[in-house]
Structure 1
Amino acid sequence: MTAFDRSERRIWAGQGSAYAGSFAKLCAYPVPRLLDAAEVGPGTRVLDVGTGPGTVAAAACARGAKVTAVDAEPTMAELAMRAAPGADVRVAALPELPFNDGEFDAVVANFVLNHVGRPQAALTELRRVVGPHGRIALTIWAVPPAAGQTLIGRAIQAAGAVRPSHLPAGLAPEDDFPRDESGLTALMGAAGLREAVCETLRWDHRASADEWWSGPASGVAFGGQLVRSQTSRIRAEIKRHFDLFSSEFADEDGLLTLPHAALLARARR
């Protein structure tokens, strides 16, 4: 396990409910396209890696698939069990999954590769557990990010927040890759996957300012941990700048329209 992986475990510990009430709705947007890319339908043996609150697992169950789901965080797995009672939900983490070689017809991973320290090793493990000619489909956040994705980060930076030592700056250089269509496609090829293709998804996420702020205020994800680690004065400054910048995205009813962009990639073993 890398230093990045250990940090991710600490960041997400106990955060299932807070994530479900804030960013989970945003991350649900690509789910139908993700399942289509993996050709998930009736009888498909599908593994949902990093299931979070079970959004993908529940959608796959609704298609009649035979669903197994895993997440590294126990509070996420508990939520997934409720959301997808027909799925076999377990606590497990990349890059070592508790499954036999070729056990699944398809593997899906919705915004999971962003949270592993060795992305190529993670993809190699996904390739191992899918059968011959099996499908792998995944999403990650695109770089450069869309305007809505930068709102919280802008507020953190404007307030002069300092990153604490327990939060890593990012992946080791030898493990990182360009977060664009060509970069993700190349990474999948390097992991031994065939016929890799990637596209960019763009959408506007609608949320109230209070809902959007609830994630970082509760310590969800890297940004939330960064907010929570600041002094009370800096936290107040972050919130002040968040309120100021939020007005750029607000309509007359106060709802925010937040542009986002993600990469959707698919390949075969």
Structure 2
Amino acid sequence: MTTTDATDAFDAAERAMWAGRTEAYARGFGRLCAHPVPALLDAAGVAAGTRVLDIGTGTGAAALAAGERGALVRAVDADAGMVAEARRRGVAAEVAVLPALPFGDGEFDAVLGNFVLNHVGRPRAALAELRRVLRPGGRLAVTLWGARRGAGQDLLGAALAAGGAVPPSYLPRLDPAEDFARTPDGLAGLLAEAGFTGAGAVELAWHHRTTVEEWWGGAAGGVATVGLVLTAQEAGTVAAVRREYERLCAAFVPQGAENADGEGPLALPHVALLARAVR
């Protein structure tokens, strides 16, 4: 398979992964991904009057937060269902797929990308396009799931492995030629390679507060790679994964917060990367 073929296959798999999963995403993983939004906006210098583009807006969390600061916000997402939900919430959103954006050169003061670079087959081409739509001196801020992971990030994956789940062959796999080091230095280097200046990246660590049922619901709804793996299994395997999941959840229940009905709280440690740069 050529690099082009592998990249096209990755992008096609990503589009299929999110199609029809807006509601399931919003109920679970959407809250997780919204956590870094205030830091993301600060990194991009978003304030009243800032012309902002939110790429991969999903259900609109970053776009709405920017609007609350008085920014002038446009947003795009590759999935029509996500765009429809963002619009319902009041975001000026439209469908667009990186690395092609329907905006002029230098149209924005700030570009936000909240957990987007994970999902594009051509991250360097995508960053070049984001640089194009920024004005000179404009600011880019992005988040990314990195190589260092919190224990809570591996909960569902550990349950899949313990329950005997076998990943399907059609999972998205980024071509190695397009990959980069998922570390602060690696992400900052990628931004510098794309022509940005002043690139820097840090790790963000937090505990995502959720419940046993809410966290399971995202995967059961087919959201993200873990959801593709779970929903590809036979019923018996799904039941085994669920049993292992409930067993493993016990390690993430805060002391004194146990709840026998399975709806009790979880505190899941997560780690992500936050990077900023200037055109």
Shorter-chain TM range is over 0.9
Q: Pairwise mapping of residues 15-34 of structure 1 onto structure 2 (< 5 A)?
A: 15-34=21-40
Aligned equivalents of 2:272 and 2:234: distance in 1? 33
SS in 1 for 2:136: strand
- 1:9 equivalenced with 2:15 (yes/no): yes
Q: Pairwise mapping of residues 35-114 of structure 1 onto structure 2 (< 5 A)?
A: 35-83=41-89, 85=90, 87-114=91-118
Number of the residue aligned with 1:211 = 214
Aligned equivalents of 1:142 and 1:242: distance in 2? 23
Aligned equivalents of 2:230 and 2:190: distance in 1? 32
Number of the residue aligned with 1:244 = 247
Q: CA deviation at 1:142?
A: 1.9
Sequence identity, in percent? 53
Q: CA deviation at 1:76?
A: 0.7
Number of the residue aligned with 1:126 = 130
Aligned equivalents of 1:190 and 1:75: distance in 2? 33
The counterpart of 2:180, out of the listed 154, 166, 177, is 177
SS in 2 for 1:109: strand
Q: CA deviation at 1:2?
A: 1.8
Number of the residue aligned with 1:259 = 269
SS in 2 for 1:2: helix
Q: Deviations over 1:117-164 (max 9, x none)?
A: 111111111101101111000000121211010000111111221121
Q: CA deviation at 1:238?
A: 1.1
Moved over 6 A (4+): none
Unaligned regions of 5+ residues in structure 2, if any?
Answer: 1-6, 259-263
Letter in 2 for 1:260: H
Letter in 1 for 2:138: G
SS in 1 for 2:176: coil
Letter in 1 for 2:215: W
TM-score by length of 2: 0.93
Q: CA deviation at 1:26?
A: 0.8
Number of the residue aligned with 2:119 = 115
TM-score by length of 1: 0.97
Q: CA deviation at 1:211?
A: 0.4
Aligned equivalents of 2:248 and 2:108: distance in 1? 45
Aligned equivalents of 2:163 and 2:273: distance in 1? 30
SS in 2 for 1:174: helix
Paired residues, what number? 266
Aligned equivalents of 1:226 and 1:143: distance in 2? 20
Unaligned regions of 5+ residues in structure 1, if any?
Answer: none
Letter in 1 for 2:277: A
Q: Deviations over 1:35-63 (max 9, x none)?
A: 01101111111000000000011101111
Letter in 2 for 1:42: A
Number of the residue aligned with 2:154 = 150
Letter in 2 for 1:125: E
Q: CA deviation at 1:88?
A: 2.0
Number of the residue aligned with 1:202 = 205
Aligned equivalents of 1:234 and 1:192: distance in 2? 47
Aligned equivalents of 2:125 and 2:149: distance in 1? 25
